[in-house]
Amino acid sequence: MHTQVAIIGAGPAGLLLGHLLHLRGIDSVIVENRSRDYVIERVRAGVLEQWTVDLMIAMGVGQRLQHEGLRHEGLYFSFNGQRHHIHLTELTGGKSITVYGQNEVVKDLIDARLATGRPLYFEAANVAVADIDSTRPVVRFQVDGQDQELTCDYIAGCDGFHGICRPGFPAGSLTGFDRVYPFGWLGILAEAAPSSDELVYTYHERGFALFSMRSPKVTRLYLQVPPEEDIALWSDDRIWDEMLRRMSTVDGFKPNVGPIFQKGVTPMRSYVAEPMRHGRLFLAGDSAHIVPPTGAKGLNLAAADVVVLAKALGQFYKSNSAQGLDQYSDICLRRVWKAQRFSWWMTQTLHRAPDESPFDHRRQIADLDYITGSRAAMTSMAENYVGLPMDVDLG
Ligand code: APR
Ligand code: PHB
């Protein structure tokens, strides 16, 4: 088997890249090691920046997003029992964010991929990359017990943080920048109508909490917990008790309670791999970098990488110029580090660290007081939250 671009991983990065290449008439094969149901049902975050929504619509995959996505013009910060509103749209010249589960994005993109008739392999076993320093790299895997060999011009490593592409870089060719946080998030989905139509980020003396949603009938909530917390320690009653304690504010806001139908604990980490390319292997999305979810940037960063990569591959196939490919890593990393900075800032401002001092606590309150009181500070926060400017070229 031969293709122009072999894409490893059918998460948002791999699927978006496949469709961006399709729109440019470039062939690809997507190789995913999990099943279709697993990929679609995996519960993840769900905030799309303005440009990501615009991108999905421009790519022709935004119909359900436009219909079912929840557009938000603002959000709240809550601390000392008070909610403070930040009007994102007013502060950013009309931009907003849209709440639409990552699994819905993935579902729409799989449907779009299948409609193109281009190959997408699920449940591929023992996926391995080789010859990335040559002009004909190769991907090996098995489907239904049969060995497959896929030669290609380029490999896109879109296989997430635990994938095989980043470890496929030769020893010494990659530097990882890492920060592990001393807490995690316990997240739930509940059958309960959202009690606020915008997100509420809460800083509480018992720890961070976040109010979000998935639909007019489903509430999504998170609590700061220790990083390796055993979910078995959290009965539904204990979860609701803690959510209500942290989130209730003097204006009467509190989440509506309802049956919990999904729960899990996620550790928090910041990581960046530099460079994002070696030879003919390009990393995109979580395979190259992860952010703590507090800034809601993960999916949007993955989309930004593949927009840059698709444009560079487009240039290569159209005019035989490798300039865009050579600049890929530097262009992506500038945005990645700004998103890292913002995600780190949101995380350290809103969480209680086990080793924090009374000075840190006062400083965090001052930070929140400043962010919710100064138009200049709010504007900076809003500009980052809705997404820094992104140059999209569909070719
Ligand atoms: N071979 C093939 N596919 C693999 C392999 C492998 N060895 N290892 C992992 N994968 C697949 C995973 O099963 C997954 O479907 O690669 C895909 C990677 O998808 P994501 O982890 O969703 O990463 P990405 O597409 O970069 O999207 C980033 O995901 O983790 C969230 O918050 C993050 O929103 C961000 C987004
Ligand atoms: C979510 O709705 O899952 C969500 C929202 C905002 C975040 C993280 C997750 O910062």
68: pLDDT strictly greater than 90: yes
Cβ–Cβ under 8 Å, residues 223 and 209 = yes
Q: Is the pTM of this model over 0.95?
A: yes
Q: Please tell me the distance between residue 13's alpha carbon and the centre of ligand 1 in angstroms.
A: 8
Confidence at residue 43, expressed as pLDDT on a 0 to 100 scale: 86
pLDDT in tens, 135-187: 999 999 999 999 999 999 999 999 999 999 999 999 999 999 999 999 999 99
125: pLDDT strictly greater than 90: yes
Task: Could you please state the CATH topology (level 3) that the domain comprising 2-46+101-174+275-353 is classified under.
Answer: FAD/NAD(P)-binding domain (3.50.50)
Confidence at residue 266, expressed as pLDDT on a 0 to 100 scale: 94
* Domain extent listing, the chain: 2-46+101-174+275-353, 179-267
CB count within 10 Å of CB 216 equals: 10
What does the mean pLDDT of the chain come to? 97
Confidence at residue 45, expressed as pLDDT on a 0 to 100 scale: 87
Task: Classify domain 179-267 at the CATH superfamily level.
Answer: D-Amino Acid Oxidase, subunit A, domain 2 (3.30.9.10)
pLDDT in tens, 226-262: 999 999 999 999 999 999 999 999 999 999 999 999 9
Strands (E), the chain: 2-8, 28-31, 47-48, 70-72, 75-79, 82-86, 97-99, 120-121, 125-130, 138-143, 146-157, 175-191, 200-203, 209-215, 218-225, 260-274, 277-278, 281-283, 289-290
Of ligand 1's atoms, which has the minimum distance to the CA of residue 165? 7
* Set 12, 19, 22, 72: catalytic member: 72
% residues pLDDT > 90 (the chain): 99
* Set 76, 100, 201, 328: catalytic member: 201
* Domains 2-46+101-174+275-353 and 179-267 belong to one CATH topology: no
Q: Please tell me the distance between residue 95's alpha carbon and the centre of ligand 2 in angstroms.
A: 18
